[in-house]
Structure 1
Amino acid sequence: MPAPATTLLAIGTKKGLWLASSTDRQEWTLSDPMFLMEEIPSVAIDTRDGRTRLFAGRMSWHFGPCIAHSDDLGGTWAEPREGGIRFGADDDAALERIWQIQPDAEGRPGVVWAGCQPISVWKSTDHGETFTLNRGLWDHPHRSEWGAGFGGAAAHTVLPSPADDTLHVAMSTGGVYRSDDGGASWEPRNRGISAYFMPDPDPEFGQCVHKVARDAVDPDRLFAQNHHGVYTSADRGDSWQSIAEGLPADFGFVMLTHPHRGGTAWVIPLKADGERIPPDGRLLVHRTDDGGSTWEGSGTGLPQAEYNAVLRDAACVDTAEIPGVYFGTRGGSVYASADEGRTFREVASHLPDVLSVRAAVLPG
């Protein structure tokens, strides 16, 4: 009999990185902390090309930010020269934080993307050993008008399409931008997304989009969690339609999509921007199976009272045949579901603020 598959869960927190592993997604083994007292706002698990490479976007308040990788499941870590991501002398900028580490599609196994603060996107073609600044976005004429969200000026979502050279980036604040030529040029794609807090509530750009995810079956379909507003687009972001009806609140940070089935997405609503707690203090994960026409909330296995938020990258979905859904709270609890978000169990508790969570079914 073949050995059961192992699911690996990477948990980045305000004070270090933990790894959890399980062969049944019910019982979990938690590692000792790594990079203790460093902030880990981004993690990634890259299982392409027949190997497993872990990435951690580290932030040391003494040494600054860097991107590290491990090829032995966290046993040892390597740091690329000069931290891996570094602005040039003429860019008049310094790296502040790595918000997103995104391996590209299976057909581009060496390509890894990073979204950073100040708002910038970086590309590696050598499995994350070195990164190059995307000049098309950095030199964009809108850049001087992009602002900072509550957490900073972040390029927090990088979505390469598996079908072609389309690339989407979402930023706080700036909105959604799309490149149709692999990142050489960029245009804003925010029509229909509200920016109620601005003098013009329907600007070309400047929206505070919190997270964007791509549909697994139709790469032209996107889902977005906005700063008040939940949306979908059927045309690669050319236009957006609200799908917030049926949710207890339209604020939040999380947006996840099913890895195999179209039209399925998950959100974790918060009451409002001024009250960043679950509605009525009840933590629920809401799911749609029809592209946002209807939603169903589930809290089975979750605490009856919870007043901590779930941040945008503190949630993820694995790629198992029946996908697991995972998230961590700012109160340091991490939860796992082995049945697509219907029921949950606690993986870890009393960790520092959870900032980033990623899961992967490891190759045999």
Structure 2
Amino acid sequence: MSDRLVVSTRKGLFWIERERDGWRIAEAEFLGDNVTLALNDPRSGHDYAVLNHGHFGVKLHRRTNGVWNEVAAPVYPPKPEGLIDRDGWGKDIPYSLINIFALETGGPKEKGLLWCGTIPGGLFRSRDHGASWELIRALWDDPKRQQWMGGGTDWPAIHSICVDPRDSGIVRIGISCGGVWETRDGGETWACRADGMFAAYLPPPNGPRPEHPGPAPPCAKSERAGPPVGSAPQRNLPQRRRLGELDRDQRRRAIFLRFCGRRPSAVAGHGLVHPGDQG
């Protein structure tokens, strides 16, 4: 267990350290502000903090050599005139940043590369430590994106990003609600890897469709983890079977490790588990 925790809250960003007689707050930043996300980049030593100021919008800050400075937040391109772009609920998709939901570093050799998942469902990439951002058009322009819908948020949210430690060109993202998507060429092309996962409790035409996954487990760091899993289920799930076609006991035993490694031990006990009828 780590002796240092970074905790983002609606009242600020806190570094909490363990001492011999317990835990203490070692640092506090942005007191009184809504800090929705924090990230440390071990490649550069930079710290990042996402602040949601409500009416004043989402701001991204970077700390270098102990000093915080505001850097560029992702910006959506203008919506083409006359374009009809709606989500799976039939709601118009705003072409503006609602929130930053996920932030992740690139590979160890890509010093300035960052990935950013947002609401309303755009994935962005920075190659200069967050100084500028580009929308990943291959994912945004995919027609299947209009099947995504908000799950707990008003619009679809990219909430998890997992960069494969063995090949940084392989990136998997979790979308609420839009399933698991994967690129194997650094973002040039994308494919949905949620086959076999659907929300059986939704009436047609909303079901069956890709069910939104939980937070992506951390990618395995060990070389023993085996090859990355694209869409292959664990061996205890019958091949070519949907969860809706399994009986109750089979569903309770069906464990999906769709992000990283085939053995539960390879991902420190993390996985996607279907414990019952409603997942």
Name the CA distance, whole Å, in 2 between partners of 1:8 and 1:109. 24
Deviations 1:64-121 (A, max 9, x none): 102111124xx5311114xx21112236511011111101121222111111111111
Please name the residue that 2:79 is paired with.
90
Aligned match for 2:105, one of 92, 100, 103: 103
Bigger RCO (CA 8 Å, 6+ sep): 1
- Give me the CA root mean square deviation: 3.9
Q: Does residue 37 of the first structure (1) align with residue 32 of the second (2)?
A: yes
Please name the residue that 1:14 is paired with.
10
Q: Which amino acid aligns with 1:217?
A: S
Contact 2:179 2:211 in 1 (8 A): yes
Per-residue deviation at 1:7? Answer: 5.0
Please name the residue that 2:195 is paired with.
191
Aligned match for 1:162, one of 158, 161, 165: 165
Deviations 1:189-217 (A, max 9, x none): 012324223348984x5311121222333
Q: Which amino acid aligns with 2:233?
A: W
Q: Which amino acid aligns with 1:79?
A: E
Contact 1:191 1:202 in 2 (8 A): no
Distance change (3 Å), C-alpha of 1:130 and 1:63 = same
Please name the residue that 2:220 is paired with.
215
Contact 2:165 2:221 in 1 (8 A): no
Deviations 1:327-361 (A, max 9, x none): xxxxxxxxxxxxxxxxxxxxxxxxxxxxxxxxxxx
Q: Which amino acid aligns with 1:9?
A: L
Q: Which amino acid aligns with 1:207?
A: E
Runs (5+) with no aligned partner, structure 1:
1-5, 222-233, 275-364
Distance change (3 Å), C-alpha of 1:268 and 1:17 = farther
Aligned match for 1:79, one of 62, 70, 77: 70
Q: Where in structure 2 are the equivalents of 1:57-76 lying within 5 Å?
A: 57-72=50-65, 75-76=66-67
Please name the residue that 1:171 is paired with.
175
Q: Which amino acid aligns with 1:130?
A: S
Answer 1 or 2: which has greater helix percent.
2
Q: Which amino acid aligns with 2:97?
A: L
Per-residue deviation at 1:38? Answer: 2.8
Please name the residue that 2:244 is paired with.
none
Name the CA distance, whole Å, in 1 between partners of 2:46 and 2:189. 30
Of the structure 1 ranges 172-181 and 145-154, higher mean CA displacement relative to structure 2 is found in 145-154
Contact 1:168 1:178 in 2 (8 A): yes
Distance change (3 Å), C-alpha of 1:62 and 1:109 = same
Identity %: 23
Name the CA distance, whole Å, in 1 between partners of 2:207 and 2:106. 32
Q: Which amino acid aligns with 1:89?
A: P
Name the CA distance, whole Å, in 2 between partners of 1:238 and 1:201. 22
Deviations 1:102-153 (A, max 9, x none): 0112122211111111111111111222211111111111111100011442
Distance change (3 Å), C-alpha of 1:162 and 1:32 = closer
Give 3-state SS (helix, strand or coil) of 2:143's partner.
coil
Distance change (3 Å), C-alpha of 1:219 and 1:195 = farther
| TM-score calculated relative to the size of structure 1 | 0.57
Aligned match for 2:42, one of 23, 47, 53: 47
Distance change (3 Å), C-alpha of 1:156 and 1:249 = farther
Count of paired positions:
243
Give 3-state SS (helix, strand or coil) of 1:240's partner.
coil
Name the CA distance, whole Å, in 2 between partners of 1:52 and 1:60. 26
Q: Does residue 239 of the first structure (1) align with residue 232 of the second (2)?
A: yes
Q: Does residue 137 of the first structure (1) align with residue 139 of the second (2)?
A: yes
Answer 1 or 2: which has greater strand percent.
1
Q: Which amino acid aligns with 1:138?
A: W
| TM-score calculated relative to the size of structure 2 | 0.72
